[in-house]
Amino acid sequence: MPDQTWAIPTLAGIQLALTAFFYYMVFGLLSGLSRSGLNEDIDIQDMLITRIVTGLSLTILIMTGQPIYWVIAALAMPWYVTNILTDIFAILVKYEVLEITDKE
């Protein structure tokens, strides 16, 4: 665990902000206010680094032992899992295992 007293609250704040953006995006998608797309030109190395860092930050929040950080990590888990699944689909499209077609 980090020795600095500001590190965990800052990490929790960043995760909370990203989680709020995720739930706002989900609201927009479910209410029909926005559309979503898939990035076919995904950089796999950057994607892996981002997912590892996010996973480690959620692990640190869980390991703090404080219930408020557990709640923040639990709220961020759907965002993390959705990103992993979207990345898997993007990789499959990139390597032409899956195909994106336009709906007519």
The DSSP result for 22-51, as a single string, is HHHHHHHHHTTS------TT--HHHHHHHH
Residue 61 has a CB neighbour count (10 Å cut-off) of: 21
* Cα distance between residue 30 and residue 34, in whole Å: 8
Q: What is the full per-residue pLDDT of the chain (104 aa) written as tens digits?
A: 657 788 899 999 999 999 999 999 999 989 988 888 877 788 999 999 999 999 999 999 999 989 999 999 999 999 999 999 999 998 998 898 888 877 76
Closest to 94 measured CA to CA, from 57, 26, 46, 40: 40
pTM of the model: 0.81
According to the model, what pLDDT value does residue 11 have? 93
According to the model, what pLDDT value does residue 16 have? 94
* Cα distance between residue 11 and residue 27, in whole Å: 24
